[in-house]
Every structure is written in structure tokens, then in C-alpha cells.
Amino acid sequence: MLFLRAQPRLQQPFKQYARRAYATAELSNGVKIAYDLHEPPKEAPQGNAPVVFLHGLFGSKKNNRSMSKVLARDLKRPVYAIDLRNHGDSSHHQRHDYTALAEDIEHFLGQEKMTDSTLIGHSMGAKTAMTVALRQRVPIASLISVDNAPIDAALKSDFAKYVRAMRRIEQAHVKRQADADAILAEYEDELPIRQFLLTNLYRAEDGTQKWRIPIKYLANALDNMADFPFKDPDEVRYAGPTLFVRGTKSHYVADEMLPTIGRFFPNFKLADVESGHWVISEEPEYFRKAVVEFLQEQE
């Protein structure tokens, strides 16, 4: 196990952004998965291994758009930013647990004929990516988990609080996002987190603000999101290159969890980023550097 610490570095202005294409894949299990494909620069070699980017609870592919562009450029790889089921523009389904989420990604990788992809997941997306790796139903080249660990651990109480706020907003039939934000502010002080949650709103035909995500399904799934489908690291493990990126101000990957991580993922490295749980948005340059260095080592 090697410990990495991302160091600050002045980043050149972003240029030569990748082209983006929006698409929807109808999986053989009936679920429709929306995704953005961020293509590498035209001069990049063709056929480079793709990156598949999975967001967290209440998020969407939009959250990872800027980072996907940068990684496509820096790694010269195509980056697929996915909307997981019950999020963004993907299908709604009453079943929402890590096995179901992993099955969706397995179907997606199979249909797109990806056999050497890198999975990057944050929070819920991290446990989804870990589940895919440990199930070994489809081959992946490497794994990057962002601020989550392969253990059963209670979610922060904030998530249940957000559900209550969302229900209040829905019941209030607000017509302006500012009014929705005023209600949400009673539950969450941090403006960036409120803005993140409010990206799930859209204006319905009657002029009211509606949630794009199925609040009922996700509220019922909060316990599932705290769970992890594998309990015994002596029974299953993923030996491929693995990077765990954790926020040092977050509790989701505490030091006492590292031995368990090492048993499930014996070839893992650790990158500490001075941030909270929202590592990618709080410290994008630290995150970018840790990911790029890790993946370039695999080339």
C-alpha cells in the first residue's frame, strides 16, 4: 500500500476541451441509462481505454461534467459520465441498491463492449464501482473510489434531512427556484450543497418546480445506500490497480477502515485531499492530479 498526498500546483487554463455527446443506452434489463461521452482531443490516439464516471446520491452526470472534460483532455481517453438509475435523465425504478446499480453498469459496459475501462465513482458511485469490481462479472482495468469504503456505515443524517426538505418543496408547489432554495436553507446552511441539490429541479408544464429524481424511491433506499453487499473480504477481492481518494475532513474513509479496504483491494493506493465529502467540487485540482498520476502509472 502506498500513500499519496496530492500537492497543490498551478493549473494552466483549461483549453482543448473534449467534445461532448449526449446519449441514452437501453439496457437488456429494461433500464435506460443516460450518459455524456466526453471525447479526447482529435490528435489523441484512437482506441485508448475509456473512463466511466459515476456520481453520488442526489447527483447526476452534470456534477462531473467539468472534471470529465479535463480528464478526457489530460488522459487522452474517452470519458463516459453516467446518470445512475433514479438520477438525472435515467430510468426510475423502485429497486435501488448497490447490486442493482452494479448490474446496470455491467450491462452498460457489456453493451458498449468495454473490457479495459477505469471506473471512477464518488460516494454512492464509489460503492457501485467497488461492487462491480468485486462481482467480477465484467472485466475492468482499474478502480478509483472517491470518499467511500467497502463497509456497512450509516449515512450522514444530512441525507434524510435533504429528503424531508425535498418533500416540503414538492408539497409547496413553488414556481421559482429561489423559493425552493428558501425552504432548503432551513435544512442546509451551505449554499454550494443547496445548489447541488437544486440541480434536480425542473419546471413542469403547470409552471411549478418538480423533482427530476423519484423522492419516494430514494427515501426508501437510504438504508441500502449505507449498506455494502460484500461482508467477508476473505471470500472475494479485486486485485487490480485501485486508488482510494478520501477527504481528510470527511468520516467516510477513516484510518480504521484501511485494513478492510486492503483485504478487499490488496493493490490499493491512498490519496488524501484536504476537503470534506465533496472532494471533486471542493478541491478539483488536487483530485485531478491524484487521478491523472495514478492512471498514467498504469500505462
Active-site residue, from 60, 68, 91, 123? 123
Q: How far apart are CA 175 and CA 229, in angstroms?
A: 40
Task: Return the SS3 of 3.
Answer: strand
Bridge partners (DSSP) listed for residue 22: 36
Does the annotation count 123 as an active-site position?
A: yes
Does the annotation count 277 as an active-site position?
A: yes
H or E segment and range at residue 234:
none
Residue whose C-alpha cell is 478520501? 246
CA dihedral 216, 217, 223, 229 (to 10 degrees): 180
The C-alpha cell of 284 is what? 478539483
Q: Check residue 91 and report its DSSP letter.
A: P
Active-site residue, from 122, 250, 277, 281? 277
For residue 31, the number of C-alpha atoms closer than 13 Å in the C-beta half-sphere is 28
User: Do 213 and 224 form a contact (C-beta atoms < 8 A)?
Assistant: no
CA 210 to chain CA centroid, Å, is: 23
Mind telling me the catalytic residues?
A: 123, 277
